[in-house]
Amino acid sequence: MTTEGGLDVAKQITWLTEYIGKLQAAGIKVSLFIDPEEKQIAAAIECGADAVELYTGAYAEASLVANIDMQNAELKRIKQAVATAQRSDHQLLINAGHGLTRDNVNAIAQIEDVYELNICHALIADAIFVGLE
């Protein structure tokens, strides 16, 4: 099961900080799936997350309906979130994903400081028709 949007970390800081601490004490790195918003980035850093995955679903939806203005606005929002995260904590790994496909991933892939993109579902779905090569 997945979400249609990032987790609201800002409303769960106390609980998440404790839980993340327990996971990290066991040697587990923690990534939080969040909307590309300053308050969510700040909350993820406050909780001690090792990484964040920025939700790209709104960008992907805009590309599906060929709404270039909305797609550009979402791309700008994602770029600003990456810059904010880097300024706030340069150790934080920044990933991105949700709804990305081989047709819309290029602009996201070009954002400097994004460590990893999550695009697996689309690639495997495409493989049915075009193969994994």
Question: What are the structural domain ranges in the chain?
Answer: 9-130
pTM to 2 decimal places: 0.88
CB 113 within 8 A of CB 86: yes
pLDDT digits (tens, 9 = 90+) for 33-90: 999 999 999 999 999 999 999 999 999 999 889 889 999 999 999 999 999 999 999 9
- Work out the burial of residue 60: count CB atoms within 10 Å of its CB; fewer than 13 is exposed, 13-18 middle, 19 or more buried: buried
Residue type, 80: Q
- Work out the burial of residue 78: count CB atoms within 10 Å of its CB; fewer than 13 is exposed, 13-18 middle, 19 or more buried: buried
CATH match of 9-130 with 3.20.20.70: yes
Question: Could you give the CA distance from residue 119 to residue 114 in angstroms, rounded to a whole number?
Answer: 13
pLDDT digits (tens, 9 = 90+) for 6-31: 889 999 999 999 999 999 999 999 99
